[in-house]
Copies of this chain bind each other. A is one copy, B any other.
Amino acid sequence: MRPSRRKPDEMRAIGFERGVSKHAEGSCLVKFGDTHILCTASLEERVPPWLRNSGRGWVTAEYGMLPRSTGDRMRREASSGKQGGRTLEIQRLIGRSLRAVVDLEALGEVQITVDCDVLQADGGTRTASITGGFIALHDCLAWMEVRSMTSVSKVLKDHVAAISCGLHDGEPVLDLDYLEDSAAGTDANFVMTGKGGIVEIQGTAEGEPFTDEQFSELMKLARKGIGRLVELQKMAIG
């Protein structure tokens, strides 16, 4: 039995609350169980230097955790003077994942920054950020469409969502919470599109190395979970 008493292929309660920010062009408070992340998508006119006058746009992401989003209070990164390696790694992953379904040419020369701020953490913050960040991005594009600045359907080529899997006592389980993540021998994150294409795979053996077969099973679970997440995204966006 996994610690959360969920079935091996059972995800936590997933929630998407849209329009939670008065200011952001798109926003979504995403919940994977007790993991709560505020995602905002901000439209900016300036693009990175290497895209100036290229006619192409950019989508990027930033990630942060509130100091007491975790069991023990963490030092505020603004106060320690830099973003740690884990933060930088996660925000690079979120950005890559979202760009995988965006036609940057069709977006035009603007930048959309998706901020994912963890209000409460209980495992799986990077996968929830990608999944909720997609909604915020979608709503930002919808905001632009209303203003005749772009067309959502031309820019967004597909849905994208992400989920974690792991081996618990050797058994593959879906959507690890913090306790399960700490106990898991192997931890893998998958990012896939609505059509089933794989965007990113990250698998790490925490203890013993794992086998091809084990990895295949994790991938199957992930495919199932992401399929469900994309359905929920579609219901949320309406």
* Residues of A that sit less than 8 Å from B by CB: 21-24, 27, 34, 38, 40, 42, 44, 62, 64, 66-71, 73, 76-79, 81-89, 91-92, 96, 100, 113, 115, 117, 119-120, 122, 188, 192-193, 195-205, 208-212, 215, 219
CB distance B44 to A73 under 8 Å?
Answer: yes
CB distance A203 to B200 under 8 Å?
Answer: yes
| Residue of chain B at shortest CB distance from A121 | B23
CB distance A82 to B78 under 8 Å?
Answer: yes
Name the contact of A62 in the complex, choosing from B24, B76, B81 (C-beta under 8 A): B76
Question: CA separation between A78 and B83, bound complex, in Å?
Answer: 6
User: Do A96 and B22 form a contact, CB below 8 Å, given A79-B83, A209-B199?
Assistant: no
| Residue of chain B at shortest CB distance from A75 | B62
The prevalent SS among residues of A at the interface is mixed
| Residue of chain B at shortest CB distance from A62 | B76
Name the contact of A68 in the complex, choosing from B21, B81, B195 (C-beta under 8 A): B21
Question: Which residues of chain B are within 8 angstroms of A188 by Cβ–Cβ distance?
Answer: 201
Contact sample, A vs B, 27 pairs, CB 8 Å cutoff: A21-B69, A21-B119, A21-B120, A22-B120, A22-B122, A23-B68, A23-B70, A38-B66, A40-B68, A42-B68, A66-B117, A67-B115, A76-B115, A79-B83, A85-B88, A85-B89, A88-B89, A89-B89, A89-B92, A119-B119, A188-B201, A196-B211, A197-B205, A197-B211, A198-B203, A200-B204, A202-B202
- A24 vs chain B, min Cβ distance (A): 5
CB distance A197 to B210 under 8 Å?
Answer: yes
Question: Which residues of chain B are within 8 angstroms of A38 by Cβ–Cβ distance?
Answer: 66, 119
- A180 vs chain B, min Cβ distance (A): 16
Question: CA separation between A27 and B188, bound complex, in Å?
Answer: 32
CB distance A192 to B209 under 8 Å?
Answer: yes
Question: Which residues of chain B are within 8 angstroms of A73 by Cβ–Cβ distance?
Answer: 42, 44, 113, 115
Question: CA separation between A27 and B91, bound complex, in Å?
Answer: 27
Further 13 A-B residue pairs, CB within 8 A, beyond A38-B66, A100-B209: A22-B120, A23-B71, A40-B66, A42-B68, A62-B76, A67-B115, A79-B83, A81-B81, A85-B88, A197-B209, A197-B210, A198-B209, A202-B202
Question: CA separation between A66 and B84, bound complex, in Å?
Answer: 18
